[in-house]
Structure 1
Amino acid sequence: MTETFSQKANLPLVRRLEAVGFRAWPASSVQYDGSWQVRLTAGHPSNRLNSIVPLDPSDHRDVEVRLEKASRKFEAYGRPAVLRHTPLASPVLIDLVKERQWTHFDETIVMTCDLAHAELPDTLDHLPTHDIGRFVDANLATDQVSPKLKPALAEIINAIGPPCGLFMIEDPETGPLATVLCVQDNDLAGIMSLSVAKKRRREGLGLEILTSALRWARMRSARSAWLQVKAVNVPALALYGRLGFREAYRYSYWRREQAQ
């Protein structure tokens, strides 16, 4: 699959979606080396926030030296170097990490939907909250993630530049049931942090909250929606397909294992 990424993709679309994705989930430190981005965020482990991101398939000048230089930045953070492999990555760079036996993982599908013409189900509507702290608590709870990540996640959401809607479904007795973050970047609406409490899945809550976010974005003149989903997440793929999302391209990661 990885060898065919660049052969199948619409590269101008990939560039645009990668750019809006970075604005929707901003790293605390971004450094450039040619067309490569080196994204690092000390307080959060997400690979989106901590990876080397090549943005031009033809940029492979001094590739060995540059990869080593970028890798040392990760070592300074006490982390293994991670490379984001999209259709914008040079085949020369990918061949190099394969040769050096980096570990390949986490294939993800980027999907888009024609929001202007999408037929959204008639579900219960929810309005976005402006309480970032409350949203972060709800998202960590439904995702079953450590509360220790609250400061970092709150910092990320506060740093988002484009307008965003924070959506939650809560039960007065049992607490948060579902969350989603929608980031509207001009005519594009990005869906982030969709999460449903484990005990309440398959009850339509994901569809309900996602539809609310998409309606909100459409009312604000967004014409297309995009999201990222792991290739192995079959239930999520079925949900997104039901709403008209289709695959635009795929990406994955390569990680350099640290010496023991």
Structure 2
Amino acid sequence: MLEPHILEPLADDAWPARERARLGGWRLNASSGQSMRINACWPLAAPDRDPEAALDAVEAWFAERNLPPRFKLTDGVVAPVDLAQRLAARGYAACKTTLVMLGQLRDVAGGEGDAAIRLSDTPDATFEAVFTATAGNPEDGRERLEALGRIPAPARFARLDIDGVPAAIGASAIGGGYAGIFGMRTVPDHRRKGLARRVLRALLAEAKTLGAERAWLQVEADNAPAIALYADEGFEPGYRYSYWVR
């Protein structure tokens, strides 16, 4: 099973923030403040200064951008190891635990030949319309769409049409022999029809052709239906991360 110290840098590069910086092994990401992943510090290795000085610098960096400071603490790669205690002493607490699931592409079901699914290397206007319609918060949807547009090549964007009308979408980022799955969305009127499964299979089949051997995805730890779907498609729990906020 893939170690988080290998996957987390790939995950950071696959879903790039608008603005990025480093403090040694700490990665700082800032966008519009909506999606936590691209608006947080990822302390994946030792910082380039004393930990308390690094915390001060992170808080100042986010304050300069009018964003609340956030930290993404991942099982097995937090540096220093007592960072959670240091954050708690400053008034931070953990929230929004996310599960990273992993799969071997040879073990997941194939999705070749699904004529209803269209694949492209950029998110077109129709893809964006479905994503926006299912976002809930327009600002959050806009920020995530911008992030989708920054996924480095080769990226793939899948759209499934029902009776000529877009019904479900998803995206993938390929890097380091791995496929990361993002942006899985289904229009409300078409949910619980197995469309997400078909989109996932098409993305994974395409990832094989692009040289990926494994796949990973992130799902909120309390989203039991999604976890069950991915498990049924060959994905297994890998590790977890949580955000720390004031």
> What residue number does 2:192 align with?
202
Q: Does the aligned pair in 2 maintain the 1:104–1:252 contact within 8 Å?
A: yes
Q: What per-residue deviation string (whole Å, max 9, x for no partner) do you get for residues 151-207 of structure 1?
A: x4443233222311111123467x532110011114211100111123322111111
> What residue number does 2:4 align with?
14
CA RMSD across the alignment:
2.4
> What residue number does 2:42 align with?
53
- Regions of 4+ moved over 4 Å: 58-61
Distance in 2, Cα, partners of 1:72 & 1:113:
39
1:111 aligns with 2:101: yes
Q: Does the aligned pair in 2 maintain the 1:24–1:162 contact within 8 Å?
A: no
Distance in 1, Cα, partners of 2:195 & 2:163:
16
Task: Report the CA distance between 1:38 and its aligned residue.
Answer: 1.1
Q: Does the aligned pair in 2 maintain the 1:137–1:147 contact within 8 Å?
A: no
Q: Does the aligned pair in 1 maintain the 2:111–2:202 contact within 8 Å?
A: no
> What residue number does 1:66 align with?
54
Q: Does the aligned pair in 2 maintain the 1:136–1:153 contact within 8 Å?
A: no
Identity of aligned residues (%): 27
Distance in 2, Cα, partners of 1:97 & 1:159:
31
Task: Report the CA distance between 1:219 and its aligned residue.
Answer: 2.2
Q: What per-residue deviation string (whole Å, max 9, x for no partner) do you get for residues 96-143 of structure 1?
A: 111222131110011110102333378835231344333222212133
Distance in 1, Cα, partners of 2:86 & 2:51:
8
Task: Report the CA distance between 1:59 and its aligned residue.
Answer: 5.2
> What residue number does 1:7 align with?
none
Structure 2 residue matching 1:38: 3-state secondary structure: strand
Candidates 216, 219, 226, aligned match of 2:216: 226
1:156 aligns with 2:147: yes
Structure 1 regions of 5+ residues with no counterpart?
A: 1-9
What letter is aligned with 2:212? A
Q: Does the aligned pair in 2 maintain the 1:37–1:54 contact within 8 Å?
A: yes
Q: Does the aligned pair in 1 maintain the 2:25–2:48 contact within 8 Å?
A: no
Q: Does the aligned pair in 2 maintain the 1:162–1:184 contact within 8 Å?
A: yes
What letter is aligned with 1:142? T
Distance in 2, Cα, partners of 1:96 & 1:131:
41
Task: Report the CA distance between 1:247 and its aligned residue.
Answer: 1.1
Structure 1 residue matching 2:82: 3-state secondary structure: helix
Task: Report the CA distance between 1:60 and its aligned residue.
Answer: 8.9
Which structure shows the higher helix fraction? 1
What letter is aligned with 1:128? L
Q: Does the aligned pair in 2 maintain the 1:194–1:206 contact within 8 Å?
A: yes
TM-score by length of 2: 0.88
Structure 2 residue matching 1:191: 3-state secondary structure: strand
Structure 2 regions of 5+ residues with no counterpart?
A: none
